[in-house]
Amino acid sequence: MGTSGTRALPDFNFLCNTGIKFDLSNIPVKAYSDKNPLKTLRKQIGQLLIVGFEPAEVTAQVRALLARLLPSGVILFTRNIASPEQTYQLLQQCRADASTPMFTAVDLEGGRVDRFRNVIGPAPSAADVFATGDRRLFRKHGRIIGDTCRALGFNTNFAPVLDLALEASRTVMSSRAVSSEPKQVILYAREVLIGLHDAKVIGAGKHFPGLGEANLDTHHELPSVNKSLRRMWDEDIVPYRTMRRELPMVLIGHANYPAVTKDNLPASLSKKWITDILRKKIGYGGLIVSDDMEMGAVLKMAPIEQVAVEFVRAGGDLCLICRQEELVVRAYEALVKEAERDRRFARRVAESAARVLVSKQKSRALKGPMQPPTAEKVQHLTRRLWEFGEQIRLATIKQQELA
């Protein structure tokens, strides 16, 4: 490693400390100067992981996990969120030993997917907000959700959903999807992203390339969508093509598209989907995130070690592993082992680590301190959510009367 004339991994400290913008097609590469190349490699691989955990506090075990992996971020769920103050403190503790700014992430769409329902109050679903037909309310939806995330210590929200609201997936997606028309999905999603951005929260479009015709829940099973690339390109993929420069992150779903890939792999493990189509054909330059790798759709196919490695090999940047410490550690060690074994894979790791770090440097959501949520702020947010819910209800009634 690091011998003259050999392409080695980019030096991690260089990537962390540089303040210049990167053209990722020309990432500076130089020989290791670190006396411990394995330590450098492990830091890079940590930047490819966003991890979750079971408890609602940073136990000694959780702290040890975070210190060992130095992950790019953490994601919390309802099980981790007991109150606004506890959530803020938990995220502060997660950040304590981080070597770079962390993505502190949550899934908050409103409606069925609402992690704050019991601690702040319910947010309207995407479908309910869209039914008003009012773009100002679309943006307000993003802003209120973003302000709530920010108040509790989150800087990243895996929303909005860009899946088309088609009949095949209606029982699975229900109010999470807003329209069967790609242009209408774009109209809603753009405003939500602006609202999130104004609240200093990173948004993410999901679930590429589209779950509109997936009739199984990927939490449990792998759906198979037998749809040609031409049809996908003209329908499900339109929001990603149109918004390719507006999406900070794209989250890859766990569905198989045999007419496109000629195999049984989910898109989340597919080089054709991630690199050939999303990165090259569409020209997407932001961060590519996996859906939770603990979902049945992928873990029934292969062990966590294999799915984590294949996601990164396929071109993914951030691997989500959302609950079990054992699976997090197994995935991390498998990535390290594969990067030590395969120099091409090591370069793939370095490319994504660079992209993640540059994204962190550029993001205003990761800059500046977050203030703890006071009782007054929480009360104000609860009131805003209630008033917004009433505004959506009345606007929908008005829209129905005009129809």
Query: Which residues are designated catalytic?
Result: 219, 291
Q: Which residues does residue 156 pair with via DSSP β-bridges, in sequence order? A: 105, 202
Angstrom CA distances, 70 to 152, 211, 270, stand at 22, 32, 27
Cβ atoms within 10 Å, residue 283: 10
- DSSP letters for 202-262: B-EEEEET--TT--S-TTTS--B----HHHHHHTTTHHHHHTTTT-SEEEEP--B-HHHHS
| CA-derived radius of gyration, the chain | 21
Bond prior to 207 in cis (omega within 30° of 0): yes
What letter represents residue 314's amino acid? A
Angstrom CA distances, 394 to 114, 130, 136, 141, 399, stand at 22, 13, 14, 15, 9
Q: Which residues does residue 106 pair with via DSSP β-bridges, in sequence order? A: 157
Residue whose structure tokens are 């088309």: 164
Cβ atoms within 10 Å, residue 17: 10
